Amino acid sequence: MDLQLAGKSALITGASRGIGRAAAQTLAGEGCDVILVSRSAGDLATAREQIRQTCNVNVQVAAADLSDSSKVDELARNFPDIDILVNNAGAIPGGTLLDIDERTWREAWDLKVFGYINMCRAFYALMTRRGRGVIINVTGNAAQTHDPEYICGVTGNAALTAFSQSLGSVSPKDGIRVISVNPGPVETDRLVGLMKKKALDRTGSADNWRELFKPLPFARGCAPAEVGAMIAFLASERCSYNSGSIVTIDAGLSARSFNF
């Protein structure tokens, strides 16, 4: 299927690894020029070279901490003509209400919640002037599972999901689509590392970490490439009547309130 993305440009945050890296690779493979954004200049350089080796597109990088709104403004000045924005930066820590103090809560939200909102504000204004654009907010199915042991993430993801729905409900009048993508457990380096630590704590060995995925549908987590492929499809003209919606990728976990 031709997604008709060739020649377009996409800016992806949190793009040096995990879901963001997979989304950048998929979009580049479809012919998109990509701008990779994350806090680590070294990881960005590695990702840029890997994409350049496999895709004949323009790949640019920008190291930026998006919890700082001045860096958001700088990105908007440097890349005002992007067609697609993928907000993906941020990892909210786990824990109950009593585990997460105010400072930790605010720091996590400054990057993910306010980072997404500030990026949308800056780039939505630019897209409005051109009368076109797509914004994909990678949020997370915690917005639907309501796990009290991930309460900071539950609340942040729920806020971003509602934000995406609200903005996406009116954005078509400006020629813009806004969609929230809500993955469940994704086998990123971060999650695999957490599973290895959990296996080590439980059994004294990290080697059997895959056993912890057996309760999940298909006995595995979602692959980053699967989320990347969905992002590319949603950003494409093949999905041009979709805005203000939530696309959940969790094999039914949130639908049946399965606790992982």
Domain ranges in the chain? 9-186+222-248
User: What angle is formed at CA 31 by the lines to CA 27 and CA 37, rounded to 5 degrees?
Assistant: 45
Q: Contact 168/244 with Cβ under 8 angstroms?
A: yes
Predicted confidence (pLDDT) per residue in 72-93, tens digit: 999 999 999 999 999 999 989 9
CA dist 5 and 8 (Å) reads 6
In this prediction, residue 257 carries a pLDDT of 55
Q: Which pLDDT band, with edges at 50, 70 and 90, does 136 fall under? A: very high
Q: Which pLDDT band, with edges at 50, 70 and 90, does 189 fall under? A: confident
Q: What percent of the chain has pLDDT over 90?
A: 84
Predicted confidence (pLDDT) per residue in 97-106, tens digit: 999 999 999 9
CB atoms within 10 A of CB 116: 29
Is beta strand 245-249 parallel, antiparallel or unpaired with respect to 33-38?
Answer: unpaired
Contacts of 24 by beta carbon, 8 Å cutoff, 6+ apart: 10, 12, 15, 34, 36, 47, 51, 228
Longest CA pairwise span in the chain (Å): 58
Domain 9-186+222-248 belongs to what topology?
A: Rossmann fold (3.40.50)
Predicted confidence (pLDDT) per residue in 16-69, tens digit: 999 999 999 999 999 999 999 999 999 999 999 999 999 999 999 999 999 999
CA dist 152 and 57 (Å) reads 38
Predicted TM-score (pTM) of this structure: 0.94
